[in-house]
Amino acid sequence: MALPKRRHYKARSKKRRANWKVEAPTIVACHNCHEPKLAHHVCPSCGYYKDRKVIEVSS
């Protein structure tokens, strides 16, 4: 198995991780009730996903 000839300095690994960014979740309007919801998720206020009733929401 190969071994490094020289020690890797700390900045080398930190340079790789410099482009790791936290992105905000994508929030869209529900097609049924127009409330904000996460994209590709069931709407928590009405229970619809892709124009279909998926869950029963108690008011």
Model pLDDT for residues 6-53, shown as the tens digit of each residue? 988 889 888 888 888 889 999 999 999 999 999 999 999 999 999 999
Tokens for 27, please give them.
Answer: 């929030």
d(CA 30, CA 32): 5
Q: Are 31 and 48 in contact (CB under 8 A)?
A: yes
User: Is pLDDT of 59 > 80?
Assistant: no
Burial class of 42 by CB neighbour count within 10 A (0 to 12, 13 to 18, 19+): middle
CA angle 54, 58, 59 (to 5 degrees): 125
pTM for this predicted structure: 0.61
